[in-house]
Amino acid sequence: MFARIAAIRGTDLIRLGIALLAVFAFALSYDALRQMGVAIHIRGLLTYAFPLVIDGFIAVGVGALLMLRTAPWYSRLYVWLLVGAATMTSIWANAVHAVRLNELARHGDGLRLDDVTVGALSAIAPLALAGAVHLYIVVHHHPSSRSHTDVARDSADVAADTTDVAETPPPSTNLQDHEAREISPERLALARTAPLGRKGRASRRHIEATFRSRDLTIGRAEADKLKDTLQAELDAAASERPQELEAVAVSTAA
C-alpha cells in the first residue's frame, strides 16, 4: 500500500518537475524571441505574440502527437517534422539574439564570452523546452507512470465494454432468430405486392427488392420461405380455377 502511494507521488513529482522545466524554458525563450520580434520590426503588442507562433507551436504539436499516437506512422512523422522545425527555428533565433547582443557589448565590463559559447548557451532554453516535451510523452506512455485512479478507470471501461459485448448477441444470431420466426401477416402481405417472376412464379429476388424499397431488412432464408408460401398460394389458386370453370360449365348446361 505504502509502496503504491510512494510510486504515485514519485510520478506526480516527476510530472510536476517536467511542467516547471517547460514553463521556465518557455519563459527564457519567450524573452529572447520577443526581442527578435522587435528587431524584425513587428509593431507594438504583436511582439508579445511572436514567440507564441514559434514556441507555442511546439506545445500544439505535442497535443497533436498525443492525439495521433494510434495514427499511421506517416501522419505522426509529419507532425514530428513540424515540431522539429519549430524547435530548430526557436534554437536559431535564440542563438542569433544572444550572439548579436554579445557583439554589441563586447567592450563593456564584466564577464565576456565568445560568440560560439554564447550561441550554444542560448540554445539551452528551446532545447530544454523540446526535451521537456519529449520527457512528458515518454512518461505519459510508460505504464508505471499511470496513477492507480487511471488504471482503475481504464479497467472499469474495459469491464463495461466486455459487459456490452456479452449482453449484445452477435448479428448473425439475431438474423438467424429473425429468420426462424413464423412469417408475420404484415410481411406476408407485403410480399404479395412483389411482382411475379418468370412464367408467373413467385420470385425471391423481387420479394427482397420490395422489402428493401421500404427500407426493411430481409434475410435469404425468410425470402425463400415467403417465396415458397406465395408459390403455394399461386399453385392452389391455379388448381382451383379449372374446378370453378367446370362448375360454371355444368350450371350453364343445366
Which of the four pLDDT bands, split at 50, 70 and 90, describes residue 177?
A: very low
Complete DSSP assignment for 23-73: HHHHHHHHHHHHHHHHHTT--GGGGGTHHHHHHHHHHHHHHHHHHTTTS-H
Q: What is the pLDDT of residues 152-166, one digit of tens each?
A: 555 555 455 444 444
**Region for residue 54 given its phi and psi (left: phi exceeds 0; alpha: psi -120 to 50; beta: otherwise):** alpha
pLDDT band with cut points at 50, 70 and 90 for residue 173? very low
Give the predicted TM-score (pTM) of the model: 0.47
- Alpha-carbon distance of 176 to 14, in angstroms, equals 56
For the segment 101-113, what is each residue's pLDDT rounded down to a tens digit? 888 876 666 667 7
